[in-house]
Structure 1
Amino acid sequence: MQVKMKGVFGYAGLILILFLSHSAQALKKPKVDSVQGTDCSQIKARSPEATSGVYVIRPAGVKASFKVHCEMLPDGGWTVFQRRTGRQVSFNRKWAAYKNGFGDLNKDHWLGLNNVFVMTKNKSKKWTLRVDLWDHEGGTAFAEYNNFRLGHEKNAYKLNVGKYRGNAGDAIRGANPGINQNGHGFSTTDRDHDGCSPCIFGDIAVRNCAALEGGGWWFSKCGSANLNGDWHPSGQHVGWASGLHWLTWKHAPYSAKATRMMIKSG
């Protein structure tokens, strides 16, 4: 009987040791959804070897954390807020979707106007916007703007960009006077802030640029840039009113094959 009891207690002790060991390992292992930084730039600065992927951030002064896709590049960590590579995710959506975000962070998605606003409202940081473009012939181009930020929802998430650099052209300010998208609020089919009452294009009168071009954007009398319109495949990518347009790049209604918009703090 004595031997049998020792065996029982020995077995129970082994179970206890294994349980405590597992618990200790669990405590050491960080939670998958734990906050990893205020933005991708801070994560990259703290961990230079960090790789691109999905991270959890909580901007300074914000209570709620959220997930973002970080592009960890040699010049820093960039927070992606728009990616288009095909038609698998529709960008023809209304205000609530653009405010809150949609899509798959690892694939095509829109991060959400409110998330970008809470990231950029802290004026102690300077933000750079980068737009990357890919065409159907294997070419690429980019546009960068300093002093990027978005306004509050009560101001329709008004766009603010500073000095431009790149080889895609400054489509936000446009090729023609009077259609500068800088300083304009965001528009969707159900929340119109584009200033067209109507806008006249030849024999066409347009009152809602989002309805004409598809998707939501910072339209100014429609303008020279809109990367949230309908995606068009190769062979059907030229001449459409809708599309992924950056007119100072192709100087025609050319719908890009892929686009990416992302921001970096400095």
Structure 2
Amino acid sequence: MEWRDQGALLAVRRHGETSAIIEVFTECHGRHAGIVRGGTSRKLAPVLQPGAQLDLTWRARLDDHIGTFTVEPLRSRAAYVMQDRLTLSGLNAICALLAFVLPEREAHPALYLRSMALLDMLGHTEDWPLAYLRWELALLEDMGFGLDLTRCAVTGSRDDLAYVSPKSGRAVSAGAAGDWAAKLLPLPLCLLGQGPAAASEVREGLRTTGFFMERWLAAELGNKPLPAARQRLIEALSRPF
């Protein structure tokens, strides 16, 4: 068995004396693991960093074997993030969440393209936290847990949307919320795709997407806790940027 593809490195761990097991997210083969011979060597270790874009050739005797990767670096994203704690937190959160939610060997081409575009924003634009928030929304959608933020669940109106129901994941207008407002989740305008967003608004949006990641997505995956890297990103966003 053999295939060739490109992908972003999500995770790496030592395997034996000199090898490494890597997980990558590719367009055609989804999240895929494999062994890199000599992955801990001076030549390859600097290449095998989370977020790195790699040209990959995977080989195995049988399709269900873990197989081995031959890797060639296409570009490193680490150079653009290492000097900034917030941006590094963003890269780590993206890689950790993809490794957490993606089923093995299942292609998600639309999510792949969106994820690569987000990774390429890191270190190049200050607007990436807003793009990250909208990426989390897209991640929920791609995994089958999309939110319906198009109209009020109570009145059907598209106006004055201000909350999200924690039960249904549907938008609720300010007027329809009434006494239930305190029990609803915030719906900042940036989650509706409207305008730029301050750090506080991005954090509000992440509170909402994080709720559904925990209650719906993580529950589907056996109630595993969300990756700690996501919480570290939220803490980093609490500081001015």
Instruction: State the TM-score, normalized to the length of structure 1.
Output: 0.28
* Structure with the greater alpha carbon radius of gyration: 1
Name the structure, 1 or 2, with higher relative contact order (CA <8 Å, separation 6+). 1
Q: TM-score, normalising length from structure 2?
A: 0.29
